[in-house]
Structure 1
Amino acid sequence: MKVLVIGLGGVTNGGKTTLAEKLKNMLPNCCIISQDDFFKPESEVETDERGFKLYDVLDALYMDEMVASIHNWMKSPASSGLVAEETQDTCGNLKNVYILIVEGFLLYNYEPLNKLWNRRYFLTLPYEECKRRRSTRVYQPADTPGYFDGHVWPMYLKYKNELEENASIQVDYLDGTKSQEELLSYVYSDIVQELNKLREEN
């Protein structure tokens, strides 16, 4: 049995969840873990002097629980509720390979996670497009006036800059303004190459 752990990170509203779900439908033995499932309750999230809830930082998440969930899946992916389905021929002869896609906005700035990835993808968006998409979404709690400019976007830039400055981490940056079909085709083909490498190692 072999496992492939794929990181799908990047900017808010960059299309991570949609891309992850589409990949899951195309890849064999594939499961998704979403970082959003590990947010602390609102009462445990810090508030800054402007009254902004600081959700876009690592301290707003139960990161240790997230790492533990990934490790548990890696130990026993076959018992994670996966059902092998018919997939495209390019993934043939890979019945003993299991794929985990981890999607979230802060995947590559937490050291315990960086030892786990086989591939890292990072979706980007320009400021105006990201703000436009964010304005169409409903969050709980709702974004307060000025929240995007005062917290969300600055934290995205901060963590993205940290990532770019870390020469030891290889990341494939993806343009989130491209069509979902184009992004899906690229990432799917790239993962299939990784799968074929695993097959050759058998």
Structure 2
Amino acid sequence: MTKVTIVGISGVTNGGKTTLSTKIIEKFPNSILIRQDDYFREEDDPNHIWITLKSGRKHQNWESLNAVNWDKLKSQVNLTLSELSNTSNPLLIIEGHLIFNYRNFPFKFDLKFFFTLPKEECFRRRLDRNYVPADPPGYFDEIVWPMYLKNKEGMGKSTHDIIYIKGTDDTQQIFNDVLQRINKTC
């Protein structure tokens, strides 16, 4: 049975996680990408944490651990690890803004990458995206950014082996640096 190299790509919203993950998948033919975003709970799921914004509007907190169906994601990871174990040089990429906060994965990441951005750049990039459900006014300042800071701090002891990436750096240079580290690990 072959050891699967597991790479985690996390960090700030709109920092470059998906761009990097996609480039890695294209480079490694025996790789699979699992995106945390594919495991968000349905909008009406009772496990959501609801917040009330200053405007009085209620909205799900998509930045909290409760927003993700971790059991479903974990099942997919286990299935994928089993499938990849008979592949040569297998690589599993797990991407998501909360993956380093979730403590119940049945494995350890071989590499951890975490994107950062200045608040203003993060907000600018977020305005260019369409979210379903859409961000209500105030959601970024009241929830997204404070939860990013809280989640970053909440990674706790697991940060000693994280490689931080500035999301404002050149995407090709980021990819080249990450590729070099992956090649050393595989």
TM-score by shorter chain over 0.5? yes
Match of 2:51 in 1: 48
Report how far residue 58 of structure 1 moved.
0.5
Report how far residue 49 of structure 1 moved.
2.7
Residue identity in the other structure for 1:42: E
Which residue of 59, 63, 66 maps to 2:70?
Answer: 63
Report how far residue 75 of structure 1 moved.
1.3
Match of 2:6 in 1: 5
| 1:56–1:151 Cα contact (<8 Å) kept | yes
**TM-score of the superposition, structure 2-length normalised?**
0.90
User: Equivalent residue of 1:122, what SS?
Assistant: strand
Q: Mind listing any 5+ residue stretches in structure 2 that lack a counterpart?
A: none
| 1:30–1:99 Cα contact (<8 Å) kept | yes
Question: Does 2:108 correspond to 1:116?
Answer: yes
Q: Deviations over 1:144-165 (max 9, x none)?
A: 00000011111100010122x3
**TM-score of the superposition, structure 1-length normalised?**
0.84
Give the greater-gyration-radius structure (CA).
1
Q: What is the percent sequence identity of the aligned residues? A: 36
Q: Deviations over 1:12-32 (max 9, x none)?
A: 001111110111111240110
Match of 2:99 in 1: 107
| 1:107–1:113 Cα contact (<8 Å) kept | no
Match of 2:39 in 1: 38
User: Equivalent residue of 1:2, what SS?
Assistant: coil
Q: Mind listing any 5+ residue stretches in structure 1 that lack a counterpart?
A: 80-94, 196-202
| 2:10–2:115 Cα contact (<8 Å) kept | yes
Structure 1 stretches (4+) deviating beyond 2 angstroms?
Answer: 113-116
